[in-house]
Structure 1
């Protein structure tokens, strides 16, 4: 059974049980009230009878009966008896005993009684008179009350059924309205596939449990998306980042083995291969930790890095690959204090981020010159990387940092769409920001800002 149906059912059950309790209380209260009223009428009957028959001595019994019949409305099944000291019926023309001596003596003992005898209601009083001690008993059947009670019961049953149905329908409507955000949430969740893990459900404006569920679900989806992307990132970057040192090691080994060489040449080749192996080990460690820790590894494995030294190192490596002066570097406002040049980061990850940006710049500018400008401002390090490529359209500038996005127009520019995404993640990991400034077709500039010590 759906939650909305259960809520409607529980709401209806609680409401109808409460209503049933109220109706039962009203029914029995009305019943007892009517019984009490009828007892009072019978009590008045006994008092009137006492006044007529016992106090009006000069009037004959026949005249009294006539007055009683004429002026007192006879109740349904009415029986009135006056019993003398020996418990015999007297005064009234009907001298049948009707009540037993036990009942008559009980009236004498208690002075006044009232009780129900089947459908009959009975009232008895003990009355002292100058003619003696008498017991007056009156009884009748309250048919008027029975009719009213039956009508009331019928009305209550009809009202109960109508209200029950009304509560059931209104309860289901209320439950459906309250849980409508949950239906929206379920339908949106059904749309999520492995191909659109960036999809987020609507969290709504109400600060209720469903909104909280949607918020937590979106957080879960964000973690899943990152984990899924990082798995693909690892594969893509492993092939991208590992290829260069492995190639250099292979080339160094092949050159060294191509002919006999002196001892110093072999030592130099082995030293170069060892450096590449160490670099390869650092890259593998960084990539594995990046994939396993959702980029949180880098924040716990930080070092104090001089950004200017890292830039010079990058210039040397890229100029070896692309040719002399292909990556130019300009330093502005270099401070005297070394602390102004320090960034707390994982050196391998930060180099991967900058390599990805510089590599993109060379790729999209068809290996034309790339310019890197380092500017130091108060408590801020600004790094600008500019190329001479075709630029990035305004529509694409918000998309380039998303995973697997590629805006390449040429087949030779095609990539896996992970480089800038990974660079963006790493820069933000170390409390930096990255923005792009481009006006096609005059080139693109990536602006990186880091807080300094």
Structure 2
């Protein structure tokens, strides 16, 4: 059964149960009211009978019967008896012993008596008169009230069925309206797939459960997309970077084995293959670092970081470990303790990679860091005094495995700036390169400042 049908069914059951309870309460309340009202009418009959027959001494019995039939409305199957001290019917001409002596004595003891005998209602009173002590009993069948109750029951059954049908239809309509965002969400989810990992379902401003599901789904899609990109990047980089050295090793081995050669030729071939193997080792190291970095980026937790403390830690690290100078200056109008939202470990890796690159290509000259604030952002400018980067190469410096370190006599796998850019992108920041006229490079890192 669909959720829409279950909601409609449960709502209908609850509503109709409450309606049934209300109708039953009304029915039985009305029934008791009619019963009490009829008892009151019977009681009035007994009192009127007592006044007519016991206190109107000068009026004959036939005249009293005429008055009773003329001015008192006769009830359905009405029976009235007046009993004397010896429990004999008297006065009204109905001398048949309708009630047992036990019932008459019970009225005499209690003074008043009301009870139901099958479909008949009975009222008895004990009445003292100058002519003696009498018991007056009256009974009748309340057929009018029974007819009213039957009509009321039929009306209630009709109303119950009608309202139940209306509630069922309305509840289905309400359930459909309530679940419409869920149906839309399900249709959108079907669009997600391996070829559409960037897809996200629409989120709204409502704080209901469906919006929470949408947010959770989008968060899951982000993690899956990152993992999917990680896999594709790793496979692409591995196939691209490892193919060339493997091919060269195979070619050198085949050439060496194609004919007999002297020892020097074999040594040269082995040296060439060793060089290619070392390049493969560096490439594999870079790929593993790249994969680890991507995993760290996916699982990273952001927290407020005091920028001055972070830069001081980096400055001290380069001085104590490499004996290299990093000079840090701040804009005069900047906050004394600026903070950014970042991951402490990853932001250190990013800045250290930029600083390392600056030292490498400036022959370990001093690196300057200048921090300034623009609106709600902090800019960290890392300046070196090396030869700079040609315009033709500037577009490639943030690509993985791109490096010109070997040309300058330095080691490196071309992963430092690539990792730095990935980290800055994760932090919703920006990294740019500018080349001043006097030479060198300025890497500017823009991060959001916490107020």
Match of 1:377 among 370, 380, 398: 370
CA distance in structure 2 between the partners assigned to 1:297 and 1:283 by the alignment: 20
Match of 2:21 in 1: 21
Change beyond 3 A, Cα 1:436–1:144: farther
- Alignment equivalent of 2:425, drawn from 424, 428, 436: 428
Q: CA deviation at 1:279?
A: 2.4
**Residues 39 and 114 of structure 2 are in contact (CA less than 8 Å); yes or no, is this contact kept in structure 1?**
yes
What is the correspondence of 1:270-309 to structure 2 with a 5 Å cutoff?
A: 276=279, 279-290=282-293, 293=296, 295-296=298-299
Partner of 2:133: 133
Aligned equivalent of 1:369: none
Residues 277/192 of structure 1: CA separation in 2 closer, same or farther (3 Å cut): closer
1:69 to 2:77 alignment? no
Q: Which deviations, in whole Å up to 9, do the C-alpha atoms of 1:195-230 show, x marking residues without a partner?
A: 111111112232101110111011111111111121
Q: Contact 1:290–1:298 at 8 Å: present in 2 too?
A: no
Is 1:449–2:445 an aligned residue pair?
A: yes
| 1:53-452 equivalences in 2 (<5 Å) | 53-242=53-242, 260=263, 276=279, 279-290=282-293, 293=296, 295-296=298-299, 337-338=326-327, 344-345=348-349, 376-378=369-371, 380-381=380-381, 387=391, 425-429=422-426, 432-434=429-431, 449=445
Judged with a 3 Å threshold, the aligned counterparts in structure 2 of structure 1 residues 385 and 18 are, in CA distance, closer, same or farther, namely farther
Distance change in 2, residues 1:206/1:16 (3 Å): same
RMSD: 4.5
How many angstroms apart in 2 are the aligned matches of 1:388 and 1:161?
83
Return the alpha-carbon distance in structure 2 between the equivalents of residues 241 and 339 of structure 1. Answer: 38
Contact 1:34 1:145 in 2 (8 A): yes
For the residue of structure 2 that corresponds to 1:81, the secondary structure is: strand
Q: 2:97 and 2:43 mapped to 1: Cα distance?
A: 20
Contact (CA 8 Å) 1:54, 1:131: kept in 2 or not? Answer: yes
Cα displacement string for residues 63-109 of structure 1 (whole angstroms, at most 9, x for unaligned residues): 11111111111111111000111111000111111111111111111
Contact in 2 for aligned 1:80/1:139 (Cα 8 Å): yes
* Cα deviation 1:134-183 (Å, max 9, x = unaligned): 11001111121111111111111111111101110111111111111001
**Structure 1's 176 and 290: CA in aligned 2 closer, same or farther, altered over 3 A?**
same
Gaps of 5+ in 1: 310-334, 355-373, 392-400, 402-419, 438-445
Alpha-carbon separation, structure 2, partners of 1:67 and 1:77: 19
How much has 1:193 moved relative to structure 2?
2.0
- SS at 1:8 equivalent: helix
- The corresponding residue for 2:35 is 35
How far has the Cα of 1:112 moved from its partner? Answer: 0.5
Give, in whole Å, the separation in 2 of the partners of 1:421 and 1:184: 40
What is the match of residue 338 of structure 2? none
User: Which whole-Å CA distance do the structure 2 matches of 1:298 and 1:73 have between them?
Assistant: 92
**Number of residue equivalences:** 366
- 1:281–1:388 Cα change, 3 Å: closer
What is the SS of the residue equivalent to 2:348? strand
Which whole-Å CA distance do the structure 2 matches of 1:249 and 1:182 have between them? 58
Inter-partner Cα distance in structure 1 for 2:287 and 2:314: 20
The 1:30/1:171 distance shift into structure 2, 3 A limit, reads same
Separation in 2, partners of 1:346, 1:196: 30
Report the TM-score, using the length of structure 2 for normalisation: 0.69
Inter-partner Cα distance in structure 2 for 1:108 and 1:298: 93
| Runs of 5+ unmatched residues, structure 2 | 303-309, 319-323, 330-345, 358-366, 373-379, 399-416, 435-441
Q: TM-score, normalised by structure 1?
A: 0.68
